[in-house]
């Protein structure tokens, strides 16, 4: 005859089995509707952890009060404008419409500075300016290093580039005297260097800081890396395609593959000349040696080979034109890639694949219409994240850049705290 403790043990085990079965049934029931969702209805899920994590408070940023010669004074033509683009404020100068092309492409520094001028509406801000440096989590250095490179001299050997060098020397003198730079060795300082040649004279002196770059093509591993730095998109120079609402977008874009740009480039960009020989004159291809970019809106695919560095503005012009990017680069890094899956709206080919005769075109021609429309829909959905505007809007390019900076802060703090207690050189 079973004893009382034995009966209680059996009952307890039986109860646990019932509980396990109930829980497993609940999980199966809750998971079933998700599997039934139509794949075609699912677009990019930006911020995939947002449903599980509460929104993080804005990053507290202290901005150095540098003289205008380090930033807005370089925008001489902006003095004729009113407030910044999209806003009604006259306190901060507008980006001058005449400053297009390469100056606009690398104007990330301007838009980041603009975003800290006033509180953003509707709680959209990923970063807020604080006046007390002791309350700051990061320090923004508003030196327009890309614009300085472009306005001080016409080439690398022009004597006028001395003005750019002197600005860098003066800036480093200001930073070295700052106790906030000294206490972290600049690790928690954010410095835009979007042009590949920006800050070229004194880069080694800021190698611990969080750099805002377009890619890593002209940086050593000791100076820049994905671990501490932020890859930011180029500012697109074509108008955004706001009324792309064709009932049949596939047929509305008669050109299969579009490229228009310089074909004579350096380094990895030499592939452009080789692609020109392979693709020019092919059926459905527009491949032209020109600076203009009109034609993207009437094309299904837009070719993005490397330039002098792995990236170029052409990729972001294609995104806001809703032309599916065809990316050919062995070393490209892409903005916001921890939140955005580029493979959902872009195609990637190795250099070897792209140079194999007819391989690339055959792959594009074989894509089913339904697959192209799905990628085009996702591209439309994601394009707003590449808009630069003032005041910034929720999840636009500037706010996503600041969010990327915030992602770097834990590692920054780890490095700062370790440095304060180490008695020997850091073995990492």
> pLDDT for 258-267, tens place per residue?
998 776 655 5
* pLDDT in the model for residue 419: 87
Domains of the chain: 59-75+99-235+398-421 (no CATH), 255-386 (3.40.50.2000)
Are the C-beta atoms of residues 373 and 380 closer than 8 Å to each other? no
DSSP code string of 134-179: GG-SEEE----HHHHHHHS-SSTT-TTHHHHHHHHHHHHHHHHT-H
Give the 3-state secondary structure of residue 211: strand
* pLDDT in the model for residue 138: 98
Range 357-366 average pLDDT? 96
Return the higher-pLDDT residue of 3 and 95.
95
Q: Which of 195-204, 209-218, 294-303, 413-422 has the lowest mean pLDDT?
A: 413-422
Burial of 334 (0-12, 13-18, 19+ CB in 10 A): middle
Cβ atoms within 10 A of the Cβ of 264, count?
10
Helix/strand number for the chain, H first, E second: 12, 11
Sole residue written with tokens 């180029």 = 234
> How confident is the prediction for the chain on average, in pLDDT?
84
d(CA 353, CA 344): 20
- Residue 213, strand partner residues: 231
Closest by CA position to 99, among listed 192, 232, 237: 237
d(CA 270, CA 272): 5
- The structure's pTM equals 0.83
* pLDDT in the model for residue 120: 65
* pLDDT in the model for residue 36: 36
CA distances from 343 to 340, 385, 387 (A): 9, 16, 20
Range 203-223 average pLDDT? 94
Share of the chain above pLDDT 70, in %: 80
* pLDDT in the model for residue 422: 84
d(CA 106, CA 198): 10
């Amino acid at each position: 005859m079973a004893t009382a403790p034995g009966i209680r043990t059996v009952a307890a085990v039986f109860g646990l089995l019932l509980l396990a079965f109930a829980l497993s049934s609940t999980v199966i029931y809750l998971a079933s509707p998700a599997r039934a969702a139509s794949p075609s209805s699912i677009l990019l899920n930006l911020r995939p952890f947002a449903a599980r994590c509460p929104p993080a408070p804005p990053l507290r940023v202290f901005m150095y009060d540098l003289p205008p010669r380090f930033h807005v004074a370089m925008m001489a033509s902006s003095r004729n404008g009113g407030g910044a683009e999209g806003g009604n404020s006259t306190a901060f100068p507008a980006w001058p419409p005449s400053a297009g092309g390469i100056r606009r492409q690398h104007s990330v520094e301007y838009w980041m500075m603009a975003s800290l001028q006033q509180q953003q509406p509707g709680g959209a801000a990923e970063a807020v300016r604080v006046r007390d440096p002791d309350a700051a989590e990061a320090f923004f250095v508003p030196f327009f290093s890309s614009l300085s490179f472009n306005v001080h001299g016409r080439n690398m050997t022009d004597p006028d580039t001395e003005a750019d060098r002197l600005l860098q020397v003066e800036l480093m003198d200001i930073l070295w005297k700052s106790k906030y730079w000294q206490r972290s060795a600049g690790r928690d300082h954010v410095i835009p260097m979007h042009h590949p040649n920006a800050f070229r004279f004194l880069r080694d002196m800021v190698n611990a800081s969080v750099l805002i770059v377009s890619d890593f093509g002209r940086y050593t591993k000791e100076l820049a890396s994905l671990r501490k730095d932020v890859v930011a998109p180029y500012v697109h120079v074509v108008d955004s395609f706001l009324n792309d609402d064709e009932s049949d977008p596939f047929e509305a874009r008669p050109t299969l593959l579009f490229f228009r740009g310089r074909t004579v480039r350096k380094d990895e960009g030499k592939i452009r000349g080789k692609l020109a020989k392979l693709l020019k004159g092919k059926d459905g291809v527009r491949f032209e040696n020109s600076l203009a970019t009109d034609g993207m809106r009437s094309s299904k695919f837009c070719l993005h080979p490397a330039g002098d560095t792995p990236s170029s503005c052409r990729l972001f012009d294609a995104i806001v034109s809703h032309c599916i990017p065809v990316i050919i680069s062995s070393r490209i890094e892409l903005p916001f890639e921890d939140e955005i899956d580029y493979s959902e709206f872009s195609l990637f080919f190795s250099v070897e694949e792209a140079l194999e005769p007819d391989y690339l075109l055959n792959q594009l021609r074989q894509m089913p219409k339904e697959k192209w429309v799905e990628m085009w829909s996702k591209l439309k959905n994601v394009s707003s994240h590449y808009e630069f505007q003032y005041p910034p809007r929720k999840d636009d390019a500037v706010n996503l850049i600041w969010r990327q900076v915030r992602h770097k802060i834990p590692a920054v703090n780890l490095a700062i705290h370790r440095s304060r207690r180490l008695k020997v050189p850091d073995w990492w």
